[in-house]
Amino acid sequence: MRRSEPRLRRRLRGLLALALLPAVGLAAVPWTALDPALREVLAPWRSSWNALPEPARAQLADNARRWAAMTPAERAAYRTRAEAFAELPPGERAQLRGRYADWEALEPAERQRLLDTERAYLALPEARREALQAAFEALDPDARTAWRLGPEVGQWFSGLRPLFAFVPVEERDATLEMLRALPPETRETFSGLARRLSASQREALRRDLLAAEPDARAALVRSRAGGQ
């Protein structure tokens, strides 16, 4: 049965805030100062707009500007993608949101490096691309998601991956985020420490790092390394 237009519109507006890449450098403004076209797109947030945190208002306004600037064909293409996204199982939608968040968390230079790699891949002969795709599919799931750490950190973690092969599935994203955020010198100390620890000690360290405040993790790694 065809989805009702109001319901579809609500979904699309919600997805607009999640899925469109935000522009940068545009400040948040009060509701009355928004262009009428933007107020129409942002209507679901009218009653709470002025109470939203400024970063949230800025991102929503920027996303709405991008929507307003789209051509009819671009909007139609986006609606198609949004409908397909809405039909995915909740688990898959959560995974896609996680990947999008990981992409946004990468440094601009890291994102550019990955885009350059993609362009180089697409320029290869078809047979070579198929061979690389087959090799990629043969990797374990964790290795296939190494890009989420960024090129530099992903390469660093590749040597440690076997030592953390049994991290619970529900904690893998948080563990990857924690490792990506470690300063470079702390990552090197962590590498040596992880190789010296037993499996149970590594797991205890991982859990303690996840439980610690981000600013305290470097000191925790140094402390554990000093005690070995």
- pLDDT value for 123: 92
pLDDT at 147: 67
Q: Which two tokens stand for residue 124?
A: 């290869």
| Long-range interactions of 150-158: CB distance < 8 A, separation 24+ | 150/106, 150/107, 150/110, 150/180, 151/110, 151/113, 151/114, 151/117, 152/110, 153/179, 153/180, 153/187, 156/187, 156/191
Helix (H, G, I), strand (E, B) or coil at 203: helix
CA–CA distance, 126 with 114 (Å, rounded to integer):
20
Nearest to 194 by CA among 143, 146, 160: 160
Contacts of 139 (CB under 8 A, 6+ apart): none
Which residues have CB under 8 Å from 34's CB, separation 6+? 42, 61
pLDDT at 90: 84
**pLDDT score of 7:** 46
Per-domain residue ranges of the chain? 5-87, 108-226
Give the per-residue pLDDT at 208.
Answer: 93
H/E element, 163: none
State the pTM of this model: 0.45
Give me the tens of pLDDT residue by residue for the chain, a chain 228 residues long. Answer: 444 444 444 444 444 444 443 433 334 567 887 778 778 888 888 888 888 877 777 778 777 778 878 888 888 888 888 888 888 888 888 877 777 777 777 778 878 888 888 889 889 999 999 998 888 888 777 667 666 667 667 767 766 766 676 778 788 778 878 888 888 889 889 888 888 888 889 889 999 999 999 999 999 999 988 866
Sign of CA dihedral 118, 120, 121, 126: positive
